[in-house]
Amino acid sequence: MSGNGLDYSALFNKDLPPPAGRWQGHPKYNFIGGHSDPDKVPTEGFIESADRVFHGDPRNISMYNFSGGPQGILPLREFVVDKLGRHRGIETTIDDVLITGGSGQAIELINEILLEPGDTAIVEAFSFSGALGNLRRRGVNVVGINLDGDGMRMDHLAEVLEGLRDKGVRPKYIYTIPTLQNPTGTVLTMERRHQLLALSEQYGVPIFEDECYADLIFEGEYENAIRSMDDTNRVLHIGSFSKTLGPGTRLGYVVAPWEVMSRLLSRKNDAGTGVMDQMIVGDYFNNHYDEHILDVRAALQRKCDVLGSALRESFGPSVEFDVPRGGMYLWVKLPDGVDSRALEGPALREGIAFNPGPDWSADPAAAAGYIRLCFALPSEAEIREGVEKLADVFRREGALP
Ligand SMILES: Cc1ncc(COP(=O)(O)O)c(C=O)c1O
- Rounded to the nearest angstrom, the distance between the alpha carbon of 399 and the centre of ligand 1 is 30
CB 205 within 8 A of CB 196: no
Atom of ligand 1 nearest to the CA of 252: 11
pLDDT > 70: percent of the chain: 99
- Rounded to the nearest angstrom, the distance between the alpha carbon of 150 and the centre of ligand 1 is 21
- Rounded to the nearest angstrom, the distance between the alpha carbon of 376 and the centre of ligand 1 is 14
Q: What b/e sequence results for 358-395 when a residue is b if at least 16 CB atoms lie within 10 Å of its CB, and e otherwise? A: bbbbbeeeebbbbbbbbbbbbeeebbbbbbebbbebbe
Which H, E and C letters describe 272-308, residue by residue? Answer: CCCHHHHHHHHHHHHHHHHHHHHHHHHHHHHHHHHHH
Q: Determine the pLDDT at residue 385.
A: 98
| pLDDT tens readout for residues 213-257 | 999 999 878 999 999 999 899 999 999 999 999 999 999 999 999
Substitution site in 35, 107, 111, 128 for ligand 1 pocket (most atoms within 8 Å of beta carbon): 128
Q: Determine the pLDDT at residue 121.
A: 98
What confidence category does residue 3 fall into, taking pLDDT thresholds of 50, 70 and 90? Answer: low
Q: Determine the pLDDT at residue 52.
A: 96
What confidence category does residue 205 fall into, taking pLDDT thresholds of 50, 70 and 90? Answer: very high
What confidence category does residue 15 fall into, taking pLDDT thresholds of 50, 70 and 90? Answer: confident
Q: Determine the pLDDT at residue 12.
A: 95
CB 355 within 8 A of CB 32: yes
Which H, E and C letters describe 322-374, residue by residue? Answer: CCCCECCEEEEECCCCCCHHHHHHHHHHCCEECEEHHHHECCHHHHCCEEEEE
Substitution site in 31, 98, 99, 103 for ligand 1 pocket (most atoms within 8 Å of beta carbon): 103
Ligand 1 neighbours, Cβ below 6 Å, are 34, 102-104, 128, 130, 177, 182, 210, 212, 240, 242, 247, 252
Coil vs helix vs strand at 202: helix
- Rounded to the nearest angstrom, the distance between the alpha carbon of 285 and the centre of ligand 1 is 19
Substitution site in 31, 212, 249, 373 for ligand 1 pocket (most atoms within 8 Å of beta carbon): 212
- Compute the distance between CA of residue 401 and CA of residue 394 in angstroms, rounded to an integer: 9
Pairing of β 141-145 and β 120-124: parallel
- Compute the distance between CA of residue 2 and CA of residue 69 in angstroms, rounded to an integer: 42
Statement: residue 285 has pLDDT above 50: yes
Going by C-alpha positions, the residue among 264, 260, 242 that lies closest to residue 251 is: 242
DSSP state of 175: E
- Rounded to the nearest angstrom, the distance between the alpha carbon of 103 and the centre of ligand 1 is 6
Residues 6+ apart with CB under 8 A from 178: 151, 152, 187, 188, 193, 196, 209, 211, 223, 225, 226
The residue that leads in pLDDT, 390 or 58, is 390
Statement: residue 80 has pLDDT above 90: yes
Q: Determine the pLDDT at residue 238.
A: 98
Residues 6+ apart with CB under 8 A from 64: 271, 272
CA 249 and chain centroid, separation: 14
- Compute the distance between CA of residue 340 and CA of residue 355 in angstroms, rounded to an integer: 9
Atom of ligand 1 nearest to the CA of 33: 14
What confidence category does residue 290 fall into, taking pLDDT thresholds of 50, 70 and 90? Answer: very high
| pLDDT tens readout for residues 145-171 | 999 999 999 999 999 999 999 999 999
Going from the C-alpha of 339 to that of each of 23, 59, 281, 369, 387, the distances in angstroms are 26, 55, 41, 5, 18
Atom of ligand 1 nearest to the CA of 106: 9
- Quickly list DSSP for 110-139: HHHHH--TT-EEEEESB--HHHHHHHHHTT
What confidence category does residue 212 fall into, taking pLDDT thresholds of 50, 70 and 90? Answer: very high
- Rounded to the nearest angstrom, the distance between the alpha carbon of 108 and the centre of ligand 1 is 11
What confidence category does residue 1 fall into, taking pLDDT thresholds of 50, 70 and 90? Answer: very low
Statement: residue 99 has pLDDT above 50: yes
**What does pLDDT average to over the chain?**
96
- Rounded to the nearest angstrom, the distance between the alpha carbon of 240 and the centre of ligand 1 is 7
